[in-house]
Chains A and B, each alone.
Chain A
């Protein structure tokens, strides 16, 4: 059971961004509104000759533009790296803006004729924006305030407590004092406002819900596909499901091998007491049974549902409703995903269907992660198997070789020529067999990640020198000059000592083996930018051009090597190439038949080369 933070998961991350962008749209619109008020006033009064209170109206427009500029500054300063704090500040700013707008709107309506103002519908636009910004009860409060403003204006002007501006000469002069007209104007405005806000609110709420779901699904998909670690996949899945349903809590339980018990493998937002509430036995848990049958299950009210296995613990945790969905694998149910809420009847059937979608995504990722884990286990087991088999193969051959060498040395008494010849042949065959076993082991090791030790910083030159020294004895027997041209620099590469010994032991051994008496083998170490370059060059039999493409294949041996009767397994170069590539390096070969061969190994230098010398 792994409990960790969700990393990239920030359930509220989208919300502040959302409200912040809407707030900036509000500011943008306000620039237009302020400018229109000023320009339209001047236009209407100067060009159309309408009797507008020009100075107060232009002043109102000016005030709108002025406070808008202040809000631009304040919005910049409201930024906080903490999403919660940012959200709080932006909300405060938005409420302040809406309040000032309401006052400006009331003043504007008053100056343009009160209840007879042709500008009344503009209020609806502002209400719409407020609904989008602050969906929920606050938008209705604002509607009430808006209707109140229009009604109050109508009342005060009719009672003569407030000057009435008759801005449209064509309208009857006393219209604003007519109670029927005033009442009708206020009521119809009210109905239009309520209808607009209600419709907008329902659309916005649904949109937000979808947005959250898509976000949850997106985050889940991204998180579960970015890792093969089972705990990470499970944790992302639980977090994603909770976010998608705007819930704070979720959990995942997987079936154990018996298929009878569900084990908690990931929890999001649950208390540790709840997580440790006890085992979930499928046979005792009707909810789990229903879900594992492939259907989503809704518990609308935990207090009144007798399908809960742990009713007390559920209530203690404050869980009032929950949804349980199956996590269905390709061939069998893998487990269940649950999302909890502290509200009664919080989840709908559509919610349940949506979590099913997330669970389906998750099932694929879980099975992939499980397959990956199984592969790693198999890799480990194979490594152990190779180790055991190798020991079992090498021991008897080694003992037999040792015994034969005792005989050949005539430590047990003198042998005649024929006996010595026979024993020498047996020993030669055993030597070849031992070489094959060693190569097979090295090949298996290079293919089994669990077998090898992790590469670390290794100094290249000493490793190379050891391989050269091993080769010198063989070279001397054939009167081959084996030369080593070191660099003098300390070059460090990411590798293992054993691996480098194998790589260069093989290359130098081959060079000596395929070079005839009196030839030359040169091992050279160089540095090229950020790489170490080792060349092993011989003056040997070379590799026929037609054999070059198959050179790195397992068990492949060049035609001229076989014809010459030189013993070899054909495994060495494939081992060498695998090892070099596992260290991030490359190996290449150049050869001319009957003239010689040069192998070039390039290994990236490890960062240790740039660090100061420890001595």
Chain B
């Protein structure tokens, strides 16, 4: 059992991920935007972050990930840099090549396409938790 923070502005997506994760026995905390996510992250660091790309802006998720783990991370957030990040993205569908987990491009560990396949999603979650 792990503690997972889901940051997504779409409550239905949050519900879908929550149902999935809870069925696998994980504890889920949800945040509706980057700011809320950071607050909850600081309050109690999770074992894994599930992060949406498009929230209040088209790249809000990218920017949050860069803040945590980019080439110039926010020093105040340094202690969270080891938490694995699984990114939920719709862009990934149309651009399977460009958004590989490239450290120079995007500091996340893996991607899940939206809409997601529960099996695929849970598989990636477990893989990241084991690392």
Residues of A within 8 A of B66 (CB): none
Cross-chain contact A497 with B97 (CB below 8 angstroms): yes
Please, which residue of chain B has its CB at the minimum distance from the CB of A400?
A: B12
B10 at the interface (CB under 8 A from A): yes
Cross-chain contact A398 with B115 (CB below 8 angstroms): yes
Chain B: minimal CB distance from A382 (Å): 17
Cross-chain contact B115 with A399 (CB below 8 angstroms): yes
The stretch from B16-24, B38-46, B69-77 touching chain A is B16-24
How many residues of chain B are within 8 Å of chain A by beta carbon?
24
Interface class of chain A by DSSP: helix
Residues of B within 8 A of A463 (CB): 97
* Given A398-B115, A401-B115, A498 and B94 contact (CB-CB distance below 8 Å): yes
Cross-chain contact A402 with B95 (CB below 8 angstroms): no
Cross-chain contact B95 with A403 (CB below 8 angstroms): no
* Given A411-B23, A412-B23, A403 and B98 contact (CB-CB distance below 8 Å): no
B129 at the interface (CB under 8 A from A): no
| Size bin of chain A's contact surface | 20 to 34
Residues of B within 8 A of A403 (CB): 12, 15-16, 19
Please, which residue of chain A has its CB at the minimum distance from the CB of B18?
A: A406
Question: Which of B16, B19, B98, B115: most chain A Cβ within 10 A?
Answer: B115
Cross-chain contact A498 with B19 (CB below 8 angstroms): no
* Given A399-B16, A403-B16, A406-B118, A391 and B58 contact (CB-CB distance below 8 Å): yes
A501 at the interface (CB under 8 A from B): yes
Cross-chain contact B96 with A470 (CB below 8 angstroms): yes
Residues of B within 8 A of A387 (CB): 58
Cross-chain contact B98 with A398 (CB below 8 angstroms): no
A434 at the interface (CB under 8 A from B): yes
* Given A391-B58, A405-B118, A409-B118, A399 and B96 contact (CB-CB distance below 8 Å): no
Please, which residue of chain A has its CB at the minimum distance from the CB of B14?
A: A399
Which residues of B (109-128) have their CB < 8 Å from a CB of A?
114-119
A233 at the interface (CB under 8 A from B): no
A333 to B16: give the CA distance in the assembly, Å. Answer: 61
Please, which residue of chain B has its CB at the minimum distance from the CB of A390?
A: B90
* Given A398-B114, A400-B12, A403-B12, A501 and B90 contact (CB-CB distance below 8 Å): no
A411 to B117: give the CA distance in the assembly, Å. Answer: 12
B54 at the interface (CB under 8 A from A): yes
Cross-chain contact A398 with B97 (CB below 8 angstroms): no
A44 at the interface (CB under 8 A from B): no
Contact of B16 among A391, A402, A441, A497 (CB under 8 A): A402
* Given A399-B12, A463-B97, A405 and B116 contact (CB-CB distance below 8 Å): yes
A572 to B54: give the CA distance in the assembly, Å. Answer: 26
A466 to B93: give the CA distance in the assembly, Å. Answer: 13
Cross-chain contact A402 with B93 (CB below 8 angstroms): no
A24 at the interface (CB under 8 A from B): no
Contact of B119 among A391, A399, A409, A502 (CB under 8 A): A409
B13 at the interface (CB under 8 A from A): yes
Please, which residue of chain A has its CB at the minimum distance from the CB of B115?
A: A401
A395 to B53: give the CA distance in the assembly, Å. Answer: 12
Cross-chain contact A406 with B20 (CB below 8 angstroms): yes
Cross-chain contact A399 with B13 (CB below 8 angstroms): yes
A462 to B96: give the CA distance in the assembly, Å. Answer: 12
> Which residues of chain B have a CB within 8 Å of any CB of chain A?
10, 12-13, 15-17, 19-20, 23, 54, 58, 90, 93-98, 114-119
A-B contact pairs, 9 of them (CB 8 A): A394-B114, A395-B90, A403-B12, A403-B19, A411-B20, A466-B97, A470-B96, A497-B95, A501-B96
7 further interface pairs, Cβ-Cβ under 8 Å (given A387-B58, A402-B116):
A399-B12, A399-B115, A402-B12, A402-B17, A405-B117, A409-B118, A411-B118
